[in-house]
Amino acid sequence: MSVYYTAISGTTNGSWYERNGFNLGVMAIIWVFLAFIAFNLVGGIVGVIAAVFLVEDTANIEALMQVLTEQTTVFFWINTTGQITVFALGSLLVTRLAADSGSRRRFLRLQIDSDTYKYVFWAIFLTILSQPTVVFLGWLNAFLPVPEWMAEMQQSMDEMIAKLLGSENILWMGLFHIGLVPSICEEIMYRGYVQRSLEKSWGIWTAIILSGLIFGAYHLQITRILPLAALGILFAYITYVSNSLIPAMAAHLANNGGQVILSTIYPEILDQELSSDTDLPWVWILFAVVLLITLLSILHKRYLASVPTSSPNTTD
């Protein structure tokens, strides 16, 4: 398989990357690191600006830090600003270097066809059905050693989320910051730009697995890296078979939005934590895992039956 989009797409000019000898997959991985730096830089700038308006004595560093840690709405606006400017707009910008002008929307799979809504249903249903598997992987994750500083960072983040979701009349704000924004911005970056670039260079299955692992690691939540990576792989697979970002966006929104709704209705679940001593409902988990694998197998067979072997999805 050629690593060049020009050879795959049949275009004559190719993208800027290809005309200058850059590998799309390598450049996508470089973008992941650059995006991480840019995301934190944007967040830092927004955080300082917000703190300046909320603190009378701007020279008081301790007061500034207190605002950033105690004002949960500030924290989430920092995250949202970084998601929009870096993950979404930044990825759209680098796509201009990875795809020629006539194929950028197709490159990102920002498209809808007659089957898209069918795959939206499949994506949401599979995401809901995957939750027992996610719980099981979270339990497995508890056996992995976690550095103390990362555990403390995770605990601090969990406390801020719990504080936000524990506030009154917070449902719509939580759905916006935790549900809607990541489901659009993260999908554009991971299942859009990153996955497609990896796919063009190293094939679809490498792209699905690697983009999912990157998605899991990028959250810097070592205590949840296995379930996050599994969801990333599921979203990547759905994106591939549907040839559209829309189903993965819907699945991502269902996953995050569902957690927000459940947390506001049953706030006690925010205090529950999986550990190696947690007693899981093994029969139900086994049943859900088998059912999930069966449905994924059915979906894949239907996909293969609908696509001619001579024109796989990677040629889109």
Global pTM? 0.88
- DSSP per position, 253-274: HHHHHHHHHHHHH-GGGGG---
- Residue 131 sits at the vertex; the CA angle it makes with 125 and 137, to the nearest 5 degrees, is 140
Which pLDDT tens digits describe the chain residue by residue (316 residues)? 333 333 344 444 688 998 999 999 999 999 999 999 999 999 888 877 877 777 766 566 666 666 666 666 777 888 999 999 999 999 999 999 999 888 899 999 999 998 999 999 999 999 999 999 999 999 998 888 877 777 777 777 777 777 777 666 678 888 999 999 999 999 999 999 999 999 999 999 999 999 999 999 988 777 789 999 999 999 999 999 999 999 999 999 999 999 889 888 877 776 677 777 788 899 999 999 999 999 999 999 999 998 876 555 554 4
Neighbouring C-alpha atoms within 13 Å toward the C-beta of 298 = 9
Asked if 203 and 312 count as a contact pair (C-beta separation under 8 A), the reply is: no
* Alpha-carbon span 16 to 100, nearest angstrom: 7
Conformation bin of residue 10: beta by default, left when phi > 0, alpha when psi is -120 to 50: left
| Alpha-carbon gap, residue 282 to 297, rounded angstroms | 22
Q: How far is CA 46 from CA 77, 174, 183, 292, in A?
A: 8, 19, 21, 41
